[in-house]
Amino acid sequence: MDFLAILIPLFPLIAAAVIGFGHLFNKINGREDEWISVAIAKTAIVLSCFAAIALLASDLLGLNSGTYNVGQWFASESFVIEINYISSGFGVIAAALFSIILVIITRFSVNYIHKESGFHRFFFMLSLFSFAMLYLVLSGNAVGTFIGWELAGLCSYFLISFAYDRPIAAINATRVFVTNRIGDAGFILGIGLSFYYVGTVNWNEINGIADQLTMPTATVISLCFVVAAFAKSAQLPFSPWLARAMEGPTPSSALFYGAVMIHAGVFLVILLQPIIEQALLVMGLLVVVGLFTAIYSFIVGLTQTDVKSSICFAITGQIGLMFLECGLGLWELAMWHLCAHSIVRGYQVMTAPSLLHYVHGNPMKPVSSSIVNVRWLYITSLQRFWLDPIADRALVRPIKGLGHDLDHFDKNFVDRAMGAPKPAGNTISSLNQLEQKILGTRQDSAHEDFVRSNGVVGKIFEWGANIMSWFEERLVLRGIGADTVDIGRKLGQAANTFEQLILKPRYLVLFVFVVLMIAASI
């Protein structure tokens, strides 16, 4: 029954392709075609769900061999990437669970998104996401998992910006995607290092020789994947993206950040159990980050006043606990926790809009009296530990500033240093320049006779005086005087700019970076 593993992600992919191309070529468009998109998306995900349950059943009955290899996807020398699936173990359970949740949420969205513009777009994204997530949990190699990983992030981008005409939604979507991209870089680094040290990217083989790896190797490889997992599961220091991501429509929030995608990080860590167990440092990191995220989420959650954001911090807190469990070696517990959390939270986020309705009249539980008067904690919590501003200061602004300076450098120095001709229209671009030019021409013609006289002696004196005056004006005053001041001013400005630049920490960092780069490549 191993072959079922191919079908599970394939159905939603086909659905996504049909809806996508149909919508692009105007075959599926408008309100009257809504049922077509729905029918395609629903059928596909229901079929996947049946296949996933059948795969799980046959795995429980012991009919699965564990892996299923379709063939080579692409290869470059020894870097071979296959299309293969893991058909037993936690991945299959996760696939079955996720596909059931996907069916429920797909059905839920039909009514929720009904008559909104972007209906077809939503179901296209939903199907693509279903493919991504199911492929992520079933793929037998790191590149396959990465494909699911990245596509899920992309769908999340598109669904956060679902109402793209709202500027906040667009800003948040961009920020979330770029933050996730940092984690993705960690994932790719992990793939590269496992290829370098282990010579393969198949999960089974990497895990298989995990006990032969030395501890530093195992640490480095697993560290990369764990960083990727932290970013995807919104752990510290990446946590703030989750609150931004809640911008999307409720069903997609439920699916991505309540039930399914947010667990991808924990899933990856569980998948890499053998290799992570070789790296004590990484286990410790899991404990520390998980614990701190749980505490952070608890504290920040206390001051949240709207449903979505308080749920959002509840999610990161629970997931922090899952990482903590993994770090302590309680893998089984983490798996149970993941499944249970995914069901409960999916329901909770879906019903979030009516949650207030349900709890109406029930008084809120007051905050524990021991921390109720701690002012600094209250402010910290309200400010969400200043994580977003810190990231802005430490990363976004320096990078933007660097970009700005380089742009200036490129236009004013590199371009000039190359000695290319200036465009003719550009020579006078401001009033100031024009004024200077006029002043300059006046100075050129300013030389007038110094004295006037009669007689031979007088003429000789006049002549001599004029020469002296010309000399004085041309060479001494203009050559040394005016120009020196001008040059001096320019030099001063340049020195000033240089000083200011040097004072900015980004240049220091850049300098260190360049030195490291040179040192490493020689």
Nearest distance, CB of residue 78 and other proteins, angstroms? 8
Binder among 189, 281, 367, 391 for other proteins (CB under 8 A): 189
Handedness of CA 259, 262, 263, 268 (dihedral sign): positive
Say whether residue 54 binds other proteins (CB under 8 A): no
Say whether residue 507 binds other proteins (CB under 8 A): no
Binding span for other proteins by CB under 8 A among 61-69, 77-85, 89-97, 256-264: 77-85
Fill in the DSSP letter of residue 423. Answer: P
User: How many whole angstroms separate alpha carbon 297 and alpha carbon 92?
Assistant: 30
Kindly state the helix (H) or strand (E) to which residue 80 belongs, with its residue range.
strand 79-86
Say whether residue 161 binds other proteins (CB under 8 A): yes
Say whether residue 511 binds other proteins (CB under 8 A): no
Say whether residue 391 binds other proteins (CB under 8 A): no
Say whether residue 188 binds other proteins (CB under 8 A): yes
Question: Which residues does residue 74 pair with via DSSP β-bridges, in sequence order?
Answer: 81
Our CB check for other proteins shows the closer of 120 and 337 to be 120
Count residues binding other proteins (CB under 8 A).
Answer: 64
Binder among 63, 178, 491, 502 for other proteins (CB under 8 A): 178
Binding span for other proteins by CB under 8 A among 50-58, 187-195, 267-275, 324-332: 187-195
Say whether residue 171 binds other proteins (CB under 8 A): yes
Say whether residue 394 binds other proteins (CB under 8 A): no
Say whether residue 403 binds other proteins (CB under 8 A): yes
Nearest distance, CB of residue 374 and other proteins, angstroms? 38
Our CB check for other proteins shows the closer of 184 and 473 to be 184
Residue 368 vs residues 43, 284, 298, 374, 451: alpha-carbon distances, Å = 49, 30, 12, 11, 97
Closest CA to 506 of 392, 390, 395: 395
Say whether residue 216 binds other proteins (CB under 8 A): no
Fill in the DSSP letter of residue 141. Answer: B
Binding to other proteins (CB under 8 A) within 415-434 occurs at 415, 417-418, 420-426
Check if the beta carbon of residue 324 is closer than 8 Å to that of residue 274: no
Check if the beta carbon of residue 81 is closer than 8 Å to that of residue 72: yes
Say whether residue 502 binds other proteins (CB under 8 A): no
Check if the beta carbon of residue 261 is closer than 8 Å to that of residue 134: no
Say whether residue 344 binds other proteins (CB under 8 A): no
Our CB check for other proteins shows the closer of 25 and 358 to be 25
Say whether residue 174 binds other proteins (CB under 8 A): yes
Check if the beta carbon of residue 82 is closer than 8 Å to that of residue 68: no
Binder among 6, 54, 79, 380 for other proteins (CB under 8 A): 79
Say whether residue 195 binds other proteins (CB under 8 A): yes
Check if the beta carbon of residue 310 is closer than 8 Å to that of residue 349: no
Biggest CA-to-CA distance, the chain: 129
Binding to other proteins (CB under 8 A) within 130-149 occurs at 143, 146-147
Question: Which residues does residue 239 pair with via DSSP β-bridges, in sequence order?
Answer: none
Nearest distance, CB of residue 407 and other proteins, angstroms? 4
Nearest distance, CB of residue 77 and other proteins, angstroms? 4
Nearest distance, CB of residue 168 and other proteins, angstroms? 9
Binder among 406, 476, 480, 494 for other proteins (CB under 8 A): 406
Our CB check for other proteins shows the closer of 181 and 489 to be 181
Say whether residue 30 binds other proteins (CB under 8 A): no
Say whether residue 518 binds other proteins (CB under 8 A): yes
Nearest distance, CB of residue 254 and other proteins, angstroms? 23
Q: Measured in whole angstroms, how far is the alpha carbon of residue 276 from the centre of its chain?
A: 24
User: How many whole angstroms separate alpha carbon 202 and alpha carbon 211?
Assistant: 16
Count CB neighbours of 368 within 10 A.
Answer: 8
Closest CA to 36 of 49, 52, 48, 18: 18
Helix (H, G, I), strand (E, B) or coil at 140: coil
- Radius of gyration for the chain, computed over Cα atoms and rounded to the nearest angstrom: 33
Kindly state the helix (H) or strand (E) to which residue 127 belongs, with its residue range.
helix 119-138
Count CB neighbours of 158 within 10 A.
Answer: 20
Nearest distance, CB of residue 128 and other proteins, angstroms? 9
Say whether residue 203 binds other proteins (CB under 8 A): no
User: How many whole angstroms separate alpha carbon 409 and alpha carbon 403?
Assistant: 10
**HSE-up of 323 (CA within 13 Å, CB side)?**
36
Count CB neighbours of 154 within 10 A.
Answer: 16
Nearest distance, CB of residue 226 and other proteins, angstroms? 16
Say whether residue 505 binds other proteins (CB under 8 A): no
Residues lying near other proteins in the complex (CB under 8 A) are found at 24, 72-79, 143, 146-147, 150-151, 154, 157, 161, 164-167, 169-171, 173-174, 177-178, 181-182, 184-185, 188-189, 191-193, 195-196, 399-400, 402-404, 406-407, 410, 414-415, 417-418, 420-426, 516-518, 520-522
